[in-house]
Amino acid sequence: MNLPNKITILRIILIPVFLIFMVVPMPFGELFFFNDVLPVSHFIGALIFIIASATDWIDGYLARKHNLVTNLGKFLDPLADKLLVSAALISLVELQLAPAWMVVVIISREFAVTGLRLVAAGEGEVMAAGQLGKIKTVTQIIAISALLLHDIPFSGIGFPLGDVFLWIAVFFTVISGWDYFAKNKHVFVNSK
């Protein structure tokens, strides 16, 4: 297994660690920003999420730079992204920091695209992520990171950055999902 794929697997391994810090009550105290309070465990969880998200860029960069792109990587990388984003979004709903309907839209798109990829794989075709999907991923990561930090570091800018980016992420989630299915409708037409 090459280094980019090992980094992708590390991202998957970090998911339960992230979840423990976000949803298990821990007596680590609180951080005070301006007039707001952030549990230390949520701060640690947000850092784990941000680090895990950064590995997405790192493994992709290394795979392209050193010509280490593999079918396993094309499969594992988006799967790791979906698992990480889904875990983070579900934890945000649990913490009442994100609306459930938005999370359902995002996760439903992820399941639908994964299903399309599985059908394509059954036909011997591996599909890499498109540009709209990459924009979707970036907006989701910004939204989730801000919301995991309870939007506290951004409270001085005058609007809730996490909420704004969550709306943007939902928009790109829907548009990129539609685009993905439109460009790959041949998978269903040709499927046996």
Domains of the chain, each with CATH number or no CATH: 3-190 (1.20.120.1760)
Reported as a single tens digit per residue, the pLDDT across 10-25 is 999 999 999 999 999 9
pTM of the model: 0.88
DSSP state of 174: H
Q: Which of 16, 23, 19, 54 is nearest to 39 (CA)?
A: 23
One-letter amino acid identity for 106?
I
* 116-131: b (≥16 Cβ within 10 Å) or e: bbeebeeeeeebebee
67/61 Cα distance (integer angstroms): 10
Element housing 39 (H / E): strand 36-39
Looking at 4-13, 44-53, 120-129, which range is the least confident one?
Answer: 120-129
**Confidence class of residue 157 from pLDDT cuts 50, 70 and 90?**
low
pLDDT reported for residue 171: 97
